[in-house]
Structure 1
Amino acid sequence: MPYVSTPDGAEIFYQDYGQGKPVLLSHGWPLSSEAWAYELKVLADAGYRAIAHDRRGHGRSSRTSGGNDMDTYARDLASLVEQLDLTDLTVVGHSTGGGEVVRYAAQHGKGRVTKVVTVGAVPPVMVKSASNPEGTPIEVFDGIREGVLRDRSQFYQDLSETFFGANREGSTISQGLRDDFWRQGMLAELQAAYDCVAVFSETDFTEDLKALDVPILIAHGDDDQIVPIAAAAYKSIDLVKLGTLKVYPGAPHGISGSYQEELIKDVLAFIAD
């Protein structure tokens, strides 16, 4: 299986399909590159080189005693991009991965990244504060940490409900899709999953968004119960120079079904020359 080594010795697993302009996809918490299986195939079939990695501590990548912070995640991504020598690159990130690609593009991607796509992404910052009253209270994230620590298996099963909007009337989300969320989550090492809660909730990406000098598509479902759109996409679009906002009515946090099909069409249109 393909891996790259980071400067601190972590081994980062990645999937790599197709040929053409590269598109690199970064997954959400607590998932892995498997979350992008559909997109990897569609992008490769459309003539792109589609790549997705497992974040350290997740999936098949190294379980490390440290490095569960956004700066390290972005440096890991830089190691992957540099070792594969990717240029004219589009980076796509969902949820936590959206923060990861924004920080990578802003701080490491100059000369390599030409477009950015975020989907249900955590920037600018999730946690509620005096300066971010639309944010999510810290008590919610404390509850996530407690759930991960005490019984992450049941917690991931329960979380899949709101992640995919299965609690909404008329939902067609399958049990299989929810089971796959649980499966991927259980592959995340406990320490990494626990530490990453602070990473995705408390990291401030405001300056990264301001620093981006390439086009960015900011995609978000307006029924996202995990990363509410008011504190995320609606704020991010005002911080970037070359942004396009696309709101998907009724779409949840998890990417699936008709939302997934519409999103990939929009991504393909955005990244086309």
Structure 2
Amino acid sequence: MPYITTTDGAEIFYKDWGSGQPVIFSHGWPLSSDAWDVELKLMADHGFRAIAHDRRGHGRSTQTWLGNDMDTYAADLASLVDQLGLKDVIVVGHSTGGGEAVRFAAQHGRGNVVKVVTAGAIPPVMIKSDSNPDGAPIEVFDAIRAGVAGDRSQFYQDLAWQFFGANRAGSKISQGQRDQFWRLSMQVGLKAAYDCVAVFSETDFTEDLKALDMPMFIAHGSDDQIVPIADAALKSVQLVKNATLKVYEGAPHGIAGDYQQEFDLDLLEFIRG
């Protein structure tokens, strides 16, 4: 299997499909690159080089004790880009991966990242504070940590319902999709899963967003129960110089079903444009 090795010795697994301009996908917590398989195939089928990696601690990458922080995640992505010699990169990130894509583009991608796409992404910052009074209280994230540290298998099964909006009337999300979420979640190391709760809730991307000067497409579901749109996309679009926001009415956090079909068409159009 293909891996790159980071400066601290972590081995980062990646998929590399097709050829052409590189489009790199960053997955959400607590998943892996497998979550992007449909989009990877879509991009490769349309003449792009589609790449997705397993974040350290997740999937098939090394379960490091240290380095479960956003700066290291972005540096790992920069190592992947450097070692593969990628130029004119387009980065796409979902949820926590959206934060990773934004930080990478702002701090490592000057002159090389040409477009950024996020979906249900965590920026600018999720946790409630004096400077972010509309955020979620720390008790919300403490409960997630407790679920991860306790019966994480059942926690991930329960979380899948909110993740995909399967708890909403009329949801068409299948048992198979919820099972896949659980399967990928169970592959993340406990330390990485636990540490990453603070990463996705407490990291402030405000300055990263302000630093972006390339075109950015921000996608978000109006019924996202994991990363509420009012705390995320509606604020992010105000901070980026050249950003377009599309709100997917009634869509959940997880990219699946009708939301996935519409988003994939928009993604392809934005990347081609």
| Equivalent pairs, count | 273
Write the distance in 2 (CA, Å) between the matches of 1:259 and 1:47: 23
Q: Deviations over 1:69-91 (max 9, x none)?
A: 00000000000001111111100
State the shift of 1:263 in Å.
0.5
Q: Deviations over 1:83-121 (max 9, x none)?
A: 111111100000000000000000000121000000000
- Counterpart of 2:165? 165
- Counterpart of 1:43? 43
Q: Deviations over 1:182-228 (max 9, x none)?
A: 00000000000000000000000000000011111010000000000
- Check if 1:3 corresponds to 2:28: no
Write the distance in 2 (CA, Å) between the matches of 1:166 and 1:134: 26
Letter of the structure 2 residue corresponding to residue 84 of structure 1:
L
- Check if 1:232 corresponds to 2:208: no
Letter of the structure 1 residue corresponding to residue 254 of structure 2:
G
Q: Deviations over 1:6-46 (max 9, x none)?
A: 01100000001011111000000000000001001111101
State the shift of 1:134 in Å.
2.0
Contact 1:25 1:52 in 2 (8 A): yes
Contact 1:4 1:83 in 2 (8 A): yes
Q: Give 3-state SS (helix, strand or coil) of 1:266's partner.
A: helix
Paired-residue identity, %: 73
Write the distance in 1 (CA, Å) between the matches of 2:112 and 2:11: 22
Q: Give 3-state SS (helix, strand or coil) of 1:227's partner.
A: coil
- Counterpart of 1:34? 34
- Runs of 4+ in structure 1 over 6 Å off: none
Letter of the structure 2 residue corresponding to residue 216 of structure 1:
M
- Check if 1:215 corresponds to 2:215: yes
Unaligned runs of 5+ residues in structure 2 are none
- Counterpart of 2:243? 243
Q: Deviations over 1:208-255 (max 9, x none)?
A: 000011111010000000000001000000000000001000000000
Unaligned runs of 5+ residues in structure 1 are none
Q: CA RMSD in A?
A: 0.6
State the shift of 1:55 in Å.
0.1
- Counterpart of 1:253? 253
TM-score (norm 2): 0.99
- Counterpart of 1:77? 77
- Check if 1:119 corresponds to 2:122: no
Write the distance in 2 (CA, Å) between the matches of 1:145 and 1:35: 22
Letter of the structure 1 residue corresponding to residue 175 of structure 2:
Q
